[in-house]
Amino acid sequence: MRAILRGMFCLFFGISSVALAQDAVLKPFVLASKGPGEVAAKVDAAKAALTQNGFTIAGTYTPYPNATIIAVTNDEMKTTAAKSEHGGFGAAQRVSVTKVGNDVQVAYTNPVYMANAYRMAGDLKETAVKLQAALGKVEEYGAKGLTASQLRKYHYTFGMEYFDEPNEFAKYASYEEAVKAVEAGLAAGKQGVTKVYRVDVAGKKETLFGVAMKGEGEAGKFMDDKYIMSEIDFRDVKSTAHLPYDILVSDNKVYALYARFRIAISFPDLSMMGANSFMNIMKAPEAIREALALTSGGKKDAR
């Protein structure tokens, strides 16, 4: 009888552990460290630590003063990306170094959160462990949190896009032509969109581009990284690693996540209306879509 009870106890708590793991709350960013220092020195230290822990530095981006983003990839990200449709959106993670007051915050996107948000065929837990080993972990932040199951079916609210409803900008004769067209558009920079990094997904005709967006004047501000972040990244611990935005070439087509999904997945608790709300950047999704479409060789109204 005692053995039976012990078995029932283990079975119950085994099932409970699985349920708890599935229902664990995930947040979009991880604060690695915070303290005095300078951005440049912290960036150099972060790059060295990341490289020592098996990451490849794909590119860096300084969208505004006192903020630098380091894009990284590794074998787990690239091989996991190849196993699901549009998994390439998760082929890189982003590390941010941001000076706020007298402190420098080092943070990074949460790989497990992003893997679920992008419906990848894996949760990138090994990458999460390696990022923590390289940079540290104080806390996860950026939202009240969502479970893995909630992330895999996430959209901000009724009528807004899901992960599997990206913008499709252009279709080419081949993957190679699609990549060439995007490279050319980014090099030209005519829409204020330029290349930050490129990651090729392992064993698949899929390439992720990280892109900087700089708009000019009143008409261009709604696709401008600095302006958008000035409106929505207002909390004490900064979510700088939301940037840069992404373009994905998958086979012979060019895509981007629609901004109402791409921004919301980093800021799921942002209010719809009021100060520092989505209402303040309501023109951004279409401005971003148009700039990325034209950069990719698509039409202004490409969806």
**Residue 127 pLDDT level (bands cut at 50, 70, 90):** very high
Nearest to 255 by CA among 77, 72, 86: 86
Q: How far apart are CA 205 and CA 79, in angstroms?
A: 12
* pLDDT of res. 99: 98
The per-residue pLDDT for range 134-184, each reduced to its tens digit, is: 999 999 999 999 999 999 999 999 899 999 999 999 999 999 999 999 999
* pLDDT of res. 253: 98
The per-residue pLDDT for range 252-286, each reduced to its tens digit, is: 999 999 999 999 999 999 999 888 888 899 999 99
Residue 67 contacts residue 140 (beta carbons within 8 Å): no
- For the chain, list the domains and their CATH numbers: 26-295 (3.30.310.70)
* pLDDT of res. 278: 86
Q: How far apart are CA 229 and CA 284, in angstroms?
A: 11
Nearest to 66 by CA among 41, 97, 44, 37: 97
Check pLDDT > 70 for residue 19: no
Which residues fall within 8 angstroms of residue 46, CB to CB, at 6 or more apart?
Answer: 70, 95, 97, 106, 134, 135
* pLDDT of res. 303: 61
Q: How far apart are CA 53 and CA 258, in angstroms?
A: 33
Check pLDDT > 90 for residue 299: no
The per-residue pLDDT for range 54-96, each reduced to its tens digit, is: 999 999 999 999 999 999 999 999 999 999 999 999 999 999 9
Q: Average per-residue pLDDT in the chain?
A: 92
> Once rounded to an integer, what is the mean pLDDT over residues 110-114?
98
Check pLDDT > 70 for residue 23: yes
Check pLDDT > 80 for residue 8: no
For the record, the structure tokens of 175 come out as 């993957």
How many Cβ atoms from other residues are within 10 Å of residue 62's Cβ? 14
Residue 261 contacts residue 156 (beta carbons within 8 Å): yes
